[in-house]
Amino acid sequence: MTAEALVSRLDRVKRTGADRWVARCPAHNDRGPSLAIRELDDGRVLVHCFAGCGAHGVVSAAGLSLSDLFPPRPLDSHAAKRERRLFPALDILRCIAQEALILAVAAIRIAGGHPIPDDERKRLLVAAERICAAVDLAEGTV
């Protein structure tokens, strides 16, 4: 399966580069794109949800299985080169840009003396968690 086949099953897909996309995660109630998708040169498809959904949950919600993310195995399993980083920093920054915008809007409201409702306060915590997850991913600790 190609990444194109996966992204055709997702909502609010945006191409962020060659063989790279962001989209709404099908595994949770996603308001904005928090799922990063990348197809490697060897045909593997990588997915990362910045909200914390696992790859199995993401592909299952899209009606696929984990094996669909991988090309058929070559006879020589050591032939494929290993990737050092799953996602470049620029892709990570693009995925969290919306989260930063949400935080900025909330800061403006707070500075103006407007209260933040509980549901929006919870969304702000999600935004902060996604940004922290992105930092961890960029550092290669995840």
The confidence score (pLDDT) of residue 49 equals 93
Q: Which domain holds residue 28?
A: 3-72+81-139
Question: Do the Cβ atoms of 101 and 74 come closer than 8 Å?
Answer: no
The structural domain count of the chain equals 1
Q: How far is CA 141 from CA 19, 85, 86, 119, 128, in A?
A: 24, 10, 11, 30, 18
Mean pLDDT by 10 residues, the chain (142 residues): 86 91 92 91 90 90 87 62 63 81 91 91 87 73 46
- Give the 3-state secondary structure of residue 113: coil
Alpha carbon distance 96, 72 (integer Å): 33
Alpha carbon distance 28, 30 (integer Å): 6
The confidence score (pLDDT) of residue 142 equals 45
The confidence score (pLDDT) of residue 74 equals 60
Question: Do the Cβ atoms of 80 and 43 come closer than 8 Å?
Answer: no
CA-closest candidate to residue 124, choices 109, 113, 112: 109
The confidence score (pLDDT) of residue 108 equals 93
The confidence score (pLDDT) of residue 107 equals 92
